[in-house]
Structure 1
Amino acid sequence: MLTTSLEFAIFLPIVFFLYWFVLKNKLRLQNALILVASYVFYGWWDWRFLILIAISSLVDFLVGIGLNNVSDKPKRNVLLGISLLVNLGMLGFFKYYNFFLDSFVGAFTFLGYNMSPDRLNIILPVGISFYTLQTLSYTIDVYDRKLQGTKDFFAFFAYVSFFPQLVAGPIERATHLLPQFQQRREFDYASAGDGMRQMLWGLFKKIVVADNLAVYTYTISMNYEDHSASSLLMCLVMFSFQFYCDFSGYSDIAIGTGRLFGFRLMKNFDFPLFARSIPELWQKWHISLFTWFRDYIIRRLKGFRKWQVARNILIIFLVTGLWHGAAWTYVTWGLLHALLFMKFIFWRRKKYTTKVAHGKLLPSLKELGLMVRTFMSFTILALFFFIQPFSKCLDYLLSMVDISIFSVPLLPENRALAGIVLLVVTEWLQREKEHGLDISGRQIPKVVRWGVYYGLLFAVFYYGGKPQDFLYFQF
């Protein structure tokens, strides 16, 4: 079930009404309702996906209880190993089986051996990469004694499958989200109102900007041989905006929906369009994933010497690339991002601790240049997300090395361009807030506020593009 669909628009008010008006102050029943709603939401794609998430949840629920009762380290290691084996085993089979099989066959073919093993027609379950990391954070934290294993079945299963962020994040930590399922929740009108505003901003980014750009980027990428180099570059720039608005739009809708039910999900994007360096960008882009790998992988490697930091950065980006998909393009994307990081490790480049142009209306020319350079670096590397397979990706890149790079490019429709302008202006003005429509601390006349809300709703209903699946569903 898409969070931008008519089905979700009917589903959400029903769950909201039952949650607050029928089951108010009944914590266990509220959690049970969220669990049932989440399984309905997830099973809307394919009921068979429910089997996998139920197995993952049950294994980690039992492992958590086992870790509570076992103090012997070898036995604790066995329990953690069971969790890792089941979760990563399912993720590896459904996401990477054919990738590793093809790579294995390709290596032997290169050596002169012909092999023809059978590939499997495997359907990748939506969101498996996300909820796998979410449930693993629980068992690892219980193993590290940062958290007590819970015996509350409904709270834990609802935590793993919480429908607002189930299929594309933010990837929550058990230490942050699970306790919220275990304590009584009161309806907060101000919080819910802010959640609705964040949902509206997310819908605008997804439906008006990303979905309109999808038609343009798809048309050019499918026939890139017939377009000028300038159009190919413009297509990549537009894909970066599409990519950002599609994914951050989902996160805004997820976080806002969570607020409606009394939950606070972690921030997943912090206005990365205005990052001044690649390291700063990765402090602001898909925060929940990058910090997950940092906390659960990198901190276990340790080491503060430059070569150790460089090794850790290389590992985290290769893992991040492979996490995104079973293709060498994603691995290459991760490797190239790691290489861009290296100059900041070995040459002590400036680290940014405040927002760009803090306290100012406009950035300096230097800041503007740094933002453009960072955005274009990200844009060029986004090619490895955009085009598949690897050979076609390289061909696209080479096609941009042409004198036609100086020609006038083909542009997307005006509604998409207008959406980008509104996006950039709004997020620039709001860059020190939580989201694009965060009005906290601002004295804005009611007529202006509601004019903005109705204007965005009008744009969503009348200027939205052809409905598209969220890009991150494929990961």
Structure 2
Amino acid sequence: MLFNSAEFILLFLPVVLVIYHALPHRGQNIFLVLASCVFYASWDWRFLLPLLFTTGVDYQISLKLAESVRRGEPQQVRKRWMQLSIALNLGLLGFFKYANFFAQSAVDAGRLLGLDWSLPVMEIVLPVAISFYTFQAMSYTIDVYRGELHPCDSFWDFFLAVLYFPHLVAGPIQRASTLLPQVIRPRTMQRDVVIEGLHLMLWGYFKKVYIADNLTPWVDAAFRAGATPDTATVVTGVLAFTFQIYCDFSGYTDIARGVARLMGFEFTLNFRLPYFATNPSDFWRRWHISLSSWLADYLYKPLGGNRGSRWMTCRNLMITMLLGGLWHGAAWNFVLWGFYHGLILVLHRLAQPALERIGQRFEAMPSLWLTLRIATMFLMTCYGWLLFRATSLEQIASMTHLLLVPQGGFDWAPLGEVLKLVAPLLLVQWVQWRTGELYFSRLLWGGRLRGAPLRVTGYAVMAYLCLFLGGQPQSFAYFHF
């Protein structure tokens, strides 16, 4: 069931809201667990089996961890329970998402060595969003093991924290330490919170339906398997995908956060104007923040973080980004994308002293230096999205060559059409960047644009564009991860 489907907007969500607000707190939690199961099973009821298995395993193991502490058992016992949780979670994820990828990679590697072998290819259907709920459930067990979180005693409360449908399919990845307290305590509805939720939903639908979906034809023209684009088509396609992936994913996040607010929940911010980043580290503090912080806390820091030598820090960055790339999909272009971001993170860290010296020369022109850094990081990000979206390594090589050695008729008219589509986003985000107000709703409702006619006109225009000028409906990109 898609957020941008009539089934969700006109049937599922209204029914859920009506029943939810008619129930007491305990009834609300039980009902939301059941509604979330219905929401997730709408793709395929079989997808519920690994989801419920993962959630049930981590719930039981968390209780075993607490029991081990009460009994005064040695830490090694608790460590084995935690390792069992990690093994089961990653084993399930690995089977569904990576089994065929690694099997095919082994076959390809063997052929390079002159070995003519084959491995059985299983017909595995990837459950929707298995990467998201696996990371979320696994972090809960790790936090309990570390003593940073007390295990949840209620089966229904824990299941709701993991299964809650707004964040279940594509995040943001919610930490149990943030979401569980909201699940456990009664939730009260406030007018301002509801209004902000509706604003978030409208802005999210606008980014997804009007901008992201309308950019699809230019992205497909460049990246379609077997296509032979010229340089202008590649540039247009890469720029279109740069904004498509952002509007698609951040649009989903805004809708999810808005829906959650209609029920009294508050989700963490997942995007902070990422295309205004000034360097690679800054980009990952702004893009998919819930995943970036998860990788930092559960992978980068346990590896040693930046506590060791410069070489060890660079190694930790590269391992983290390689695995972060592989998390996005079982294909070598995702691994290459992770390597690319790891590489520019490492190079930025090594070049930091030189960059600071260059910045000192721009002390009289700080705005120019800031603009240069933003523009440079944006171009590097765009090339990273080429790696991310490409359908093969051969396509990456071909497109990179076209960017370095321009070819073709150079028809830039499509690029103008892309810029027209993203112009409203650029305008709003420029105002957000200048004012520091990241909430679009507050920008219109309580910020500088206080006039009611202006607000109503803005909402009406967005609604009209979504309803009558939206692109061909597409599923959300991160559903596949």
TM beyond 0.5: yes
Match of 2:241 in 1: 239
C-alpha separation in 2, matches of 1:36 and 1:419: 39
Alignment of 1:332-351 (within 5 A): 332-348=336-352
Does residue 469 of the first structure (1) align with residue 471 of the second (2)?
no
C-alpha deviation, 1:186, in angstroms: 0.4
Residue identity in the other structure for 2:380: S
Please say which of residues 395-404 and 339-348 is displaced more in the overlay: 395-404
Q: Over aligned residue pairs, what C-alpha RMSD do you find?
A: 1.8
Match of 1:360 in 2: none
After superposition, give the CA deviation of every residue in 1:331-351 in whole Å (9 maximum; x if it has no partner). Answer: 111111111112322232569
Does residue 17 of the first structure (1) align with residue 21 of the second (2)?
no
Residue identity in the other structure for 1:367: L
Aligned CA distance change for structure 1 residues 413 and 458 (closer, same or farther; 3 Å): farther
C-alpha separation in 2, matches of 1:223 and 1:122: 23
Does residue 407 of the first structure (1) align with residue 410 of the second (2)?
yes
- Give the alignment partner of residue 462 of structure 2, picking from 436, 447, 456: 456
Match of 1:58 in 2: 56
Task: Report SS of the residue matched to 2:352.
Answer: coil
Check conservation: 2:225, 2:391, Cα contact below 8 A.
no
- Give the alignment partner of residue 367 of structure 1, picking from 353, 366, 370: 370
Match of 1:2 in 2: 2
C-alpha separation in 1, matches of 2:429 and 2:440: 5
Alignment of 1:163-242 (within 5 A): 163-222=165-224, 225-242=227-244
Aligned CA distance change for structure 1 residues 389 and 226 (closer, same or farther; 3 Å): closer
C-alpha separation in 1, matches of 2:314 and 2:409: 37
Residue identity in the other structure for 1:7: E
C-alpha separation in 2, matches of 1:413 and 1:347: 35
Match of 1:442 in 2: 447
Match of 1:329 in 2: 333
Residue identity in the other structure for 1:15: V
Query: Which runs of no fewer than 5 residues in structure 1 stay unpaired?
Result: 352-362
C-alpha deviation, 1:455, in angstroms: 1.2
C-alpha deviation, 1:313, in angstroms: 0.8
Match of 1:120 in 2: 122
C-alpha deviation, 1:330, in angstroms: 0.9
C-alpha separation in 1, matches of 2:240 and 2:440: 20
C-alpha deviation, 1:406, in angstroms: 8.3
Does residue 314 of the first structure (1) align with residue 318 of the second (2)?
yes
Match of 1:38 in 2: 36
Check conservation: 1:430, 1:438, Cα contact below 8 A.
no
After superposition, give the CA deviation of every residue in 1:374-425 in whole Å (9 maximum; x if it has no partner). Answer: 11111111111111122222223223343437833251684x5433000000
Match of 1:69 in 2: 67
Query: Which runs of no fewer than 5 residues in structure 2 stay unpaired?
Result: 357-365
Does residue 291 of the first structure (1) align with residue 289 of the second (2)?
no
Match of 1:356 in 2: none
Please say which of residues 432-441 and 242-251 is displaced more in the overlay: 432-441
Number of aligned residue pairs: give it: 460
Match of 2:363 in 1: none
Aligned CA distance change for structure 1 residues 409 and 231 (closer, same or farther; 3 Å): farther
Check conservation: 1:43, 1:49, Cα contact below 8 A.
yes
- Give the alignment partner of residue 386 of structure 1, picking from 374, 382, 389: 389
Match of 1:47 in 2: 45
Aligned CA distance change for structure 1 residues 214 and 69 (closer, same or farther; 3 Å): same
C-alpha deviation, 1:108, in angstroms: 2.1
Residue identity in the other structure for 1:64: S
Task: Report SS of the residue matched to 1:400.
Answer: helix
**Structure number with higher helix proportion:** 2
Match of 2:362 in 1: none
Aligned CA distance change for structure 1 residues 403 and 224 (closer, same or farther; 3 Å): farther
C-alpha separation in 2, matches of 1:409 and 1:279: 32
C-alpha separation in 2, matches of 1:387 and 1:347: 29
Match of 1:151 in 2: 153
Aligned CA distance change for structure 1 residues 347 and 403 (closer, same or farther; 3 Å): closer
Aligned CA distance change for structure 1 residues 6 and 327 (closer, same or farther; 3 Å): same
Alignment of 1:240-255 (within 5 A): 240-255=242-257
C-alpha separation in 1, matches of 2:148 and 2:116: 51
Match of 1:430 in 2: 432
Residue identity in the other structure for 1:442: G
- Give the alignment partner of residue 275 of structure 1, picking from 252, 269, 277: 277
Please say which of residues 31-40 and 389-398 is displaced more in the overlay: 389-398
Residue identity in the other structure for 2:113: L
C-alpha separation in 2, matches of 1:339 and 1:152: 44
C-alpha separation in 1, matches of 2:76 and 2:284: 37
Does residue 376 of the first structure (1) align with residue 382 of the second (2)?
no
C-alpha deviation, 1:224, in angstroms: 7.1
C-alpha deviation, 1:207, in angstroms: 0.5
After superposition, give the CA deviation of every residue in 1:3-60 in whole Å (9 maximum; x if it has no partner). Answer: 111011121111111111x10xx22111111101111111111110011111011111
Match of 1:29 in 2: 27
Task: Report SS of the residue matched to 1:216.
Answer: helix
C-alpha separation in 1, matches of 2:383 and 2:463: 33
Match of 1:358 in 2: none
C-alpha separation in 2, matches of 1:66 and 1:225: 55
Match of 1:357 in 2: none
Task: Report SS of the residue matched to 1:122.
Answer: coil
C-alpha separation in 1, matches of 2:50 and 2:282: 36
Match of 2:423 in 1: 421
Please say which of residues 214-223 and 200-209 is displaced more in the overlay: 214-223
Please say which of residues 213-222 and 185-194 is displaced more in the overlay: 213-222
C-alpha deviation, 1:227, in angstroms: 3.1
Task: Report SS of the residue matched to 2:45.
Answer: coil
C-alpha deviation, 1:78, in angstroms: 2.0
After superposition, give the CA deviation of every residue in 1:277-298 in whole Å (9 maximum; x if it has no partner). Answer: 2211111000000110100111
Match of 2:360 in 1: none
Task: Report SS of the residue matched to 2:287.
Answer: coil
Residue identity in the other structure for 1:385: F
C-alpha deviation, 1:441, in angstroms: 4.5
Fraction of identical pairs, as percent: 37
Does residue 398 of the first structure (1) align with residue 396 of the second (2)?
no
After superposition, give the CA deviation of every residue in 1:414-457 in whole Å (9 maximum; x if it has no partner). Answer: 4x543300000011102322333333652501121111111111
Check conservation: 1:130, 1:168, Cα contact below 8 A.
yes
